[in-house]
Structure formats: C-alpha cells, structure tokens
C-alpha cells in the first residue's frame, strides 16, 4: 500500500466515510466598514516603505490572487518563494511556504515588514494626513495605529473567498456539475491518496509535509528547516491549497513548474513514486479545473 494511500485510510477510515474535501460555505462574507477600509489599504502603495508598492503588487485580485510570476521582484531583490494566492487564505491552518505562521494577522505584519519594507511612523503619518482615512480609522478603531491597519487588512482578506466552484456544487448534490473526465479525475485523486494531504474545505493548507518522499525536488531550499533548525524539517513545506489552482501557475515554492500538467506528473513521481499515464494526468488536471470558484465584486478570470 502506498504511503499516502495509507495516510488517507488512517485519516478517513472505511470507504464509506465522508468525502475528504468539503465545499466552501455558500454564503459569502458580507462587506463591512472594516473590510471596505482594508480594501483601500490593500490597493494603496502608501503602505510600503517606498510609497510605490501595494499588496496588489503580488496579490492580483483580477487573476488568481497571486502574480503569475515564478518569484515576485521586490525592492530587496527577488523573493525566495512563489507568491501564494490570497483567495481563501482565511481557511488555511498554516501560512507561508514554511507553514511558520498561524494567523492572517501574523502574515500581514510579516509581509508589510519584510516584503514591503514598511516604515510604520511614516506610514501612520501618511494615513493620518488623509482626511478620509483618518475619519475611518477614528470611527472604527479610535485612531490610526499599526494594530488598526493590520486589523482592517485582515477584515478585507477574510472576504476574499471563491465559492460556487463546480466541485462545490457537485459535493452538494449537483451530479451534472462535473464532466465525466472531472469525475474520473476526482476518483483517481482519492484512489492515489492525493486527498491525504489535499483535503478539507481548502483542499490543503492545513498540513506540513516533506516534498520528495520518493525523489529529490531540484531545489536547494531547506524548507521548514530554515525556521526550526531540526533535521527532520529539511524539505518540509506547507501543503498548498488547490482551490483555483488552474489560475495560479507557475507552481511549487520556487515557481519552477510552468504548467498544471507538469505539476501533477511531478507530484506523482516525488510523493507517490509512480509515473502517471497521459490519460491519468489529463483526468486529474480536469478535476483540478473544477476547483475554480468565483469572487465578487471584481472576480477572477473564468
């Protein structure tokens, strides 16, 4: 029995157990004054130390919530990692590729400090000098502060969910929501044991696993070892969410893999020790396309 099939069996029990993947809630989070303020901040380059870099530099909401680049260019040089999508991040148990952060608040603070080189006294002065910002912060948080900026950004990020994917409709009983090939892909996804790691409401995002169980991924990135210093964490990364994965190429922590087909093939080799047929790859890719949801009001490309 393959390693991940065993993991799946231990996680889910018998064949009659519940589905390993859960649908996203049908009800979209309602916009609030805090999330509207956070949306302005998310698009505002005045949060960065240079005054020219906003959150949307890496997290394009008109795309897949990432930036379509292997690694984003930043003022400090190329980022070491591919940009994860911001969509549905509220459902991740771990954040960042090393899985070293547990909350959206921590993630926002680190991104501002490390990637956007925030100068908090200067940023707070800029926001306080803007009458609209000053009034909103005063009304919601009692004034402009670092904590308030983080809170507003997170309030907006929590609205960035993409329900109504074909697969969500399928899980709720719409048997026509998936094509025959997508249904075959999902059966294969479970049979191979992919759902041992990519499961739950976000189809991932809640585990940390070694990349390269049956082979070495061509990267010198030490993985979670860089955070913990523990030998057992060499090559360990957060298992990414597969929601909207058809929109978020290139793939893997270093953005090395350009296509979803190659990503599927490589994962089978590295994690399962098998070579998939072309038909199996296409079935799995078709299933992964069914995980593309919708975001309003700006939306992501269909």
Q: Render pLDDT for 147-183 as a digit per residue (tens, 0 to 9).
A: 999 999 999 999 999 999 999 999 999 999 999 999 9
| CATH classification code of 33-157 | 1.10.760.10
Q: What does the pLDDT look like over 272-286, one tens digit per residue? A: 999 999 999 999 999
Q: Report how far residue 297's alpha carbon sits from residue 67's, in angstroms, rounded to the nearest whole number.
A: 19
Structure tokens, 85: 């999508």
For the chain, the domains span 3-25+162-289, 33-157
* Omega prior to 290 cis, within 30 of 0: no
Structure tokens, 263: 């990503």
Do residues 171 and 23 make contact, with C-beta atoms less than 8 angstroms apart? Answer: yes
DSSP-based three-state secondary structure for 111: helix
Task: Look at 77 and 145; give whichever has higher pLDDT.
Answer: 145
Q: What does the pLDDT look like over 49-99, one tens digit per residue? A: 999 999 999 999 988 999 999 999 887 788 899 999 999 999 999 999 999
Q: Does domain 3-25+162-289 have CATH number 1.10.760.10?
A: yes
Query: What are the Cα distances from residue 163, in Å, to 33, 183, 214?
Result: 22, 19, 35
Which helix (H) or strand (E) segment is 236 a member of?
Answer: strand 236-238
Task: Check for a shared fold between 3-25+162-289 and 33-157.
Answer: yes
DSSP-based three-state secondary structure for 231: helix
- How many CB atoms sit inside 10 A of residue 27's CB? 8
Average pLDDT over residues 246-261: 97
* Omega prior to 188 cis, within 30 of 0: no
């Amino acid at each position: 029995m393959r390693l991940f099939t065993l993991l799946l069996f231990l996680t889910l029990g018998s064949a009659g157990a519940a589905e390993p993947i859960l649908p996203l809630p049908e009800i979209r989070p309602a916009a609030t004054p805090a999330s509207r303020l956070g949306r302005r901040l998310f698009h505002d380059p005045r949060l960065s130390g240079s005054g020219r870099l906003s959150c949307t530099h890496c997290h394009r909401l008109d795309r897949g919530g990432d930036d379509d680049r292997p690694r984003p260019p930043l003022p400090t040089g190329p980022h070491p990692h591919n940009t994860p999508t911001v969509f549905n991040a509220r459902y991740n148990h771990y954040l960042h590729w090393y899985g070293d952060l547990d909350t959206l608040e921590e993630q926002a603070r680190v991104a501002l400090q490390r990637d956007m080189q925030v100068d908090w006294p200067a940023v707070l002065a800029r926001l306080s000098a803007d009458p609209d910002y000053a009034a909103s912060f005063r009304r919601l948080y009692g004034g402009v502060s670092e904590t308030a900026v983080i809170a507003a950004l997170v309030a907006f990020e929590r609205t960035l969910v993409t329900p109504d994917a074909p697969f969500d409709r399928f899980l709720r009983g719409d048997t026509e929501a998936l094509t025959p090939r997508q249904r075959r892909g999902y059966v294969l996804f479970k049979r191979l044991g992919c759902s041992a790691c990519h499961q739950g409401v976000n189809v991932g995002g809640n585990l940390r696993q070694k990349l390269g169980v049956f082979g070495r991924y061509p990267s010198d990135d030490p993985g979670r070892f860089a955070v913990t210093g523990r030998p057992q964490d060499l090559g360990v990364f957060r298992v990414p969410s597969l929601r909207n994965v058809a929109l978020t190429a290139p793939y893997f922590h270093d953005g090395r893999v350009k296509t979803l087909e190659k990503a599927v093939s490589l994962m089978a080799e590295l994690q399962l020790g098998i070579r998939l047929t072309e038909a199996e790859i296409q079935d799995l890719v078709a299933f992964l396309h069914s995980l593309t949801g919708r975001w309003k009001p700006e939306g992501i490309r269909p």
